[in-house]
Amino acid sequence: MSVMKKIREEYVIWHANRIKFPAFGSGTIIRKKVIFSGKVQKVGFRLEIHCIAHRMKLTGWVKNLEDGSVEAEIQGEESRINFLVHCMQSLKRASVKKVTMIDVSIKDDENFTIVR
């Protein structure tokens, strides 16, 4: 791993751990497929999603797509998923131009992973 990549990853983790969460009520568990389009690769986007999802006890996965966008399947309470999506849309080092969200079937994930 290059020194610059290591520094970026440390910054992303530091940034994700500083986000203050609102008080979430309890809600029904759902799963959404979310596609983020724009400048979302090579900025620590997947790692940021992973860190926030882990902190919020969401499950699923995130991966880069060949067209330059990032796809995630996120499972948990809808208010938590919406908060995570909002965090990613307002990320300064990325530029999210479009977010597509669709409901998908719930799966038996135990954690949140980055698909490489």
Catalytic-role residue among 46, 80, 82, 93: 46
Question: Which residue from 71, 53, 54 is spatially nearest to 62, judged by alpha carbons?
Answer: 71
31 catalytic? Reply is no
Q: Which of 18, 31, 55, 64 does the annotation list as catalytic?
A: 64
Active-site residue flag, 64 = yes
Label each residue of 53-73 as H, E or C. Answer: HHHCCCEEEEEECCCCCEEEE
* CA-wise closest residue to 71 among 91, 92, 45, 90: 45
CA dist., res. 100 & res. 85, Å (int): 10
Residues linked to residue 115 through DSSP beta bridges, in sequence order: 63
Looking at the annotation, which residues are catalytic?
A: 46, 64
